Structure 1
Amino acid sequence: MRHLRGEGDTAPVQMAAVLIGLVFVVIGVLGFVPGVTTGYDTLALPHDSQAELFGLFEVSILHNIVHLVFGVIGVAASRSIAASALFLVLGGIAYLVLWIYGLIVDDLSGADFLPTNAADDWLHFGLGIAMLAIFFATPRIGTTRATDPHRPHSPIE
């Protein structure tokens, strides 16, 4: 990873963003793999899908695409400290909102655009808390520079 401060200057928050992003890309791809996704023949757009990733988490075509897009955003965000931090904060908040959504939206209502079950709901809770915890726990400074953000960048760094 590289950002404006120089080659090899990667902050822990950037590593977290890229790792989380890559996990989401892999999960998004696995959602389209028969065998890994049980009930694959029922994989459909949002509400009609009965497929389950690992036989546990309800998924749909839309759900898998959202995982892929979210993962790509995380990988792209990892190019800068600020974008990585924003990815973790907004992603954490989004997953907590999805957790609440899953708890209050009736599976049979028209508002249920994303198939979820109890396993999904608690996974969303865990992801939201984890992303926010990682944001707060990871330093947002480069690993090979002094911490003074006003220090001029030298071309030989």
Structure 2
Amino acid sequence: MNSRRGTAATPRTPVQQAALLVGAVFLLLGVLGFIPGITTDYDSLRFAEHDSEAKLLGLFQVSVLHNLVHVLFGLAGLSMARTASAARSFLIVGGVIYLVLWLYGLFIDHDSSANFVPFNTAANWLHFALGVTMIALGYLLGRRRAVR
């Protein structure tokens, strides 16, 4: 006798699929931030300082804290993709967080201790794009129902 209930898995809604994809990408980027070669100037990687010159893909300034946040954010997305309402919340709230990070990165002095994540211009504009995209996905896909 099969210990599972039912015979078919419930299909994921589009918003769940989007949260799963976004979560997986964040998890991957967080892990890649710890790999020398994919992260240039890896020997200058710092825990949480503006003078970390390590750059993911040679473009986005990262630190140990930055990478860990990406890993945790990715795990949250994977976990919250289990239900449509949680997936929608992940995308919308996560998008708002990224827009706040974008604003923070715009207004702080990149050479000051306030830039503890750290941010650079490329990361700032990536945060903007992520924020807008995640919010749009949450709102647009969160209203749809899975096709059965």
Q: Return the TM-score normalized by structure 1.
A: 0.84
Map 1:44-63 → 2, pairs under 5 A: 44-47=46-49, 48-63=51-66
Instruction: Give the deviation of 1:7 after TM superposition.
Output: 2.5
Could you say which residue in structure 2 is the equivalent of 1:3?
A: none
Could you say which residue in structure 1 is the equivalent of 2:112?
A: 109
Deviates more, 1:34-43 or 1:133-142: 133-142
List alignment gaps of at least 5 residues for structure 2.
Answer: 1-7
- What secondary structure is seen at the aligned counterpart in 2 of 1:46? coil
Could you tell me the percent identity over the aligned residues? 49
- The structure with the largest alpha-carbon Rg is 1
Could you say which residue in structure 2 is the equivalent of 1:76?
A: 79
Could you say which residue in structure 2 is the equivalent of 1:43?
A: 45
Residue 25 of structure 1 contacts residue 71 of structure 1 at CA under 8 Å; is this kept in 2? yes
| 1:66-87 alpha-carbon deviations (Å, 9 max, x no partner) | 0000000000000001100000
List alignment gaps of at least 5 residues for structure 1.
Answer: 1-5, 145-157
Q: Tell me if 1:18 matches 2:20.
A: yes
Residue 85 of structure 1 contacts residue 135 of structure 1 at CA under 8 Å; is this kept in 2? yes
Instruction: Report the aligned-residue RMSD.
Output: 1.3
Q: Return the TM-score normalized by structure 2.
A: 0.89
Aligned pair count reads 139
- Partners in 1 of 2:65 and 2:109 — Cα distance? 19
Deviates more, 1:100-109 or 1:90-99: 100-109
